[in-house]
Amino acid sequence: MSALAVFFYPALDIRSFLSDIWSMKGRELLRRLKRYGREAGIDVHYVVERGKGSHGTLYCGDRFAVIPDLKQELKAGTLRAILAQLGLTPDDLK
């Protein structure tokens, strides 16, 4: 992206930067959330039976979110929506 485009469209540059950072597969998200749960003392578990097709339900304490196929790459918006449903921020996964 050129310097001129960044000057006129700074939000576009930030969005594309964040989408590059936060691309991960469902399995990696599950692994990071389980690690977060261990550190925070929160029960985190994934139930395959509570979903249709390749989807499953992830429980994080008293909250839950439906996770798409664990083998596929999650889009940035989907990842943000999952984290919002669980009451987490992207910084919690680092």
Task: Dump pLDDT digits (tens) for 32-84.
Answer: 999 999 999 999 999 988 777 889 999 999 999 999 999 999 988 899 899 99
Class of CATH domain 23-89: alpha beta
pTM of the predicted structure, to 2 decimals = 0.74
- Provide the residue ranges of all domains of the chain, joining segments of one domain with +: 23-89
pLDDT at 17: 47
| 28 CA to centre of own chain | 9
Rounded CA separation 32/89 (Å): 12
Rounded CA separation 79/90 (Å): 9
